[in-house]
Amino acid sequence: MLALASEPARAAEHLLWKIGEPDHSDHEFKGAVPRTTHALRVSVGTGNETRQWPRFHPGSGNGVFGGTVYRYALVFDLPGTAPTGIFYLDLDLLFRQPRVPALDLDVNGHRGRYYFEPEPMFDLGAVEDEFNPIRSSQHRRLALPASLFRAGENRLTFAAVDEPPVVIRSQNVGGAGDAGFFYDALALSHDPEAVASEELRATLQPTVFFPRTSHGVREECQLHLAYPVGWPGGRARIFIGRFTTEMAISRPAEFGEARYTFRVPPDLPAGEARIELLPGGTRRVDFKPARRWKLFYAPNEHLDVGYTDYRAKVAEVHARDMDELMTVLRRHPGYRFNLDGSWIAEQWLGSRAARATAGLAPESKAGRIGMNAFYCSVATEYPSLEENLRNLYFSKALERRARVPFDFALVSDVPSVSWCVPSLLAAAGIRYFANGGNQDRGPM
């Protein structure tokens, strides 16, 4: 949604400036995140914009960067007299972390807020994208009324704001911390003939979150508003089937967008909903509940003999993990764990007393321990068919000797699965196969 809509772009629209190219890559931007609470200032027209503008903008809840608001300002001149019409800010952003901040955009002291709903990105825009399945991108075209601008010097100040304002310190494959966005390109154009719309727009967005409350399970929904400059806020009444709720809707900024969360019963049917805005009138919108997902968590620890350490040390590290796993399963029968290769079981069984390993078979039969039928993950296109078959020898022997069940195989890390693999697994009675290969040697 855009806060201010207008007619489609016409010949009168012209580009004022552009920084970076929208190519799903942030390689042009060389600036570092400033370690100061003062706004970073970059002047447009110097030729140094991409060297000064940081590629990354931390969210205000990013604990690695201090859990504070970082402001980046672009300063540029507009010649002539007071401008008319609409300015269009085109933003191309990349998202590599779990949390997606909102954008606080300050135009010469007037603050707006906008939200993002990025789509999955299949390009590899940077090295870190190879291992990041949640990488995504979005292009947004924000229509800003000319009343926010002036002749002479103008300033656009960007801030990434996390909602809710929770500070989390973590590391992930997408970069430092859990919140922020990366700049792909920024551009500003002007259409002096366009006319801004004063329409107040509203939609309902069900989510996939179903929290348990004192009233049972509820589905979280959001009321999304796009509002123009001057909207005062007010109240909203929402009618969805037999469900009704009312809430205050204060504006988070002078213009832009707002989101308000409420909860509905989980069994509401899809259909028409009614939104009454006071002031603002009534809107009828479609309501379609989100799908309720059941997530299965399957923990394991990767087996990589020789890459992480010497073989003997890797064997002992995994054996100690197995010792701890048996203790955890006695205390927490609901826990589950998967071994990344049957080599782990072989090393553990060979280095521990029988009484310490006696629980392997019963825990496996109970479904609390899963074990990769492959001895280890290999680049399956290099071995012969016979060698790939022998990668199953230990698991099949353990299955016969101790009645340890094997119903799945996996190849992790190594990005290689030959066409013969499903056939040889089926012939060996293995029902399931999972492939979690890296993408640094080739895209999946």
Helix H, strand E, coil C: the string for 270-313 is CEEEEEEEECCEEEEEEECCCCCCCCCCCCEECCCCCCCCCHHH
Percentage of the chain exceeding pLDDT 70 = 96
Lowest average pLDDT, out of 3-7, 44-48, 118-122, 184-188, goes to: 3-7
At 11 the pLDDT is 60
At 4 the pLDDT is 36
* pLDDT tier for residue 312 given thresholds of 50, 70 and 90: very high
Kindly state the average pLDDT of the residues 151-161. 97
CA distance 166 to 426: 48
pLDDT at 1 over 50: no
Residue tagged 């933003």 (tokens): 91
CA distance 57 to 71: 9
* pLDDT, averaged across the chain: 92
Percentage of the chain exceeding pLDDT 90 = 78
At 443 the pLDDT is 54
pTM given for the model = 0.84
Pairing between β-strand 243-249 and β-strand 234-240 as defined by DSSP bridges: antiparallel
At 172 the pLDDT is 82
- Residues 54-68: tens digit of each pLDDT: 999 999 999 999 999
Is 57:181 a contact under the CB 8 Å cutoff? yes
CA-to-CA dists, residue 361 to 315, 370, 397, 400, 415, angstroms: 20, 11, 13, 11, 31
pLDDT at 218 over 60: yes
Rounded to a whole number of angstroms, the CA Rg of the chain reads 28
* pLDDT tier for residue 130 given thresholds of 50, 70 and 90: confident
At 415 the pLDDT is 67
Instruction: Give 91's strand partners.
Output: 140, 186
* pLDDT tier for residue 414 given thresholds of 50, 70 and 90: confident
* pLDDT tier for residue 6 given thresholds of 50, 70 and 90: very low
At 5 the pLDDT is 39
Lowest average pLDDT, out of 3-17, 258-272, 276-290, 314-328, goes to: 3-17
At 441 the pLDDT is 58
At 16 the pLDDT is 97
Domains detected in the chain: 14-191 (2.60.120.260), 201-287 (2.60.40.10), 300-437 (3.20.110.10)
Lowest average pLDDT, out of 98-112, 119-133, 266-280, 383-397, goes to: 119-133
Closest CA relative to residue 26, chosen from 177, 182, 186 = 182
* pLDDT tier for residue 7 given thresholds of 50, 70 and 90: very low
At 27 the pLDDT is 92
CA dihedral over 362, 363, 368, 373, signed as positive or negative:
negative
- Residues 240-297: tens digit of each pLDDT: 999 999 999 999 999 999 999 999 999 999 999 999 999 889 999 999 999 999 888 8
* pLDDT tier for residue 2 given thresholds of 50, 70 and 90: very low
Is 228:258 a contact under the CB 8 Å cutoff? no
